[in-house]
Structure 1
Amino acid sequence: MSLVSKRKRHRHGIFVFLQRFPRHVRFAFVVVATWIFYSIPEEFIYDPLPLCFFRFLFDWECPGCGTTRGFWCILHFRFEDAYHYNSWIWLTFPLFVSCLLHWVFSPKIRSLKNRVFPD
């Protein structure tokens, strides 16, 4: 047996931790997180300092630059501003929402994964 197969896999992260809770708890987590993100003051969003760590360090725009501001603008129905911050927002926002909905309402994927790919 190799050393890799003997090691126990450690799964970390808030989404993995919350996966063991019922759907209504995961849904409440998404609603509260969305409300907190919606409540970020406008002055912070439109601050000239970049929110992107990559842009802050290297002064280059990465493909994800403006995504946070774009998501905030979409939640506040400022679609033109969202497109201005990141032109890919029309693809990334629906994809992000569908991933969240899948995470909240999907059946236990882990049990299916363990059947297909046993440890």
Structure 2
Amino acid sequence: MIKTTVFYIRVIITIISPFILLFLPANYFDQGDSICLSKMLLNYQCYACGLTKATMHFIHFEFEKAWSYNKLVFIVVPMLVPLWAKAIYEIQGKKMPGVLGRLT
């Protein structure tokens, strides 16, 4: 019972999250201090610093601004698309077809 509930919560959050982020303004996360532990404790920017801000600008088609926050967004966001598609298949009780079904 708990395993099924956790599964549905995880899948529903995965499916709904991109739409929620799309309705927020692109600069929603631009203000405020960083919550990255490496930045707070060591004053060192890790590879993921700025990735949330970059993702927000990427999904709002502001590619230059996304590039300025974190260049890895052009690798990370396209990798999230198959995971999002997999969640849609999982909620229907199906397995993803093709190569992506075997990889994910």
In structure 1, the residue matched to 2:54 is 70
Seen in structure 2, the aligned counterparts of structure 1 residues 37 and 54 have a Cα distance that, compared at 3 Å, is farther
Seen in structure 2, the aligned counterparts of structure 1 residues 104 and 54 have a Cα distance that, compared at 3 Å, is farther
Consecutive unaligned residues in structure 1, runs of 5 or more: 1-9, 21-25, 110-119
Rg (Cα) greater in structure: 1
Question: CA-atom RMSD, angstroms?
Answer: 3.3
Consecutive unaligned residues in structure 2, runs of 5 or more: 97-104
CA distance in 1, matches of 2:35, 2:59: 18
Seen in structure 2, the aligned counterparts of structure 1 residues 62 and 104 have a Cα distance that, compared at 3 Å, is same
1:94 positional shift: 0.2
SS across alignment from 1:98:
helix
In structure 1, the residue matched to 2:89 is 105
Q: Conserved in 1, the CA contact under 8 Å of 2:26 and 2:57? A: no
Say whether 1:17 aligns with 2:7: yes
- Aligned residues, how many? 92
TM-score, structure 2 normalization: 0.64
CA distance in 2, matches of 1:75, 1:36: 11
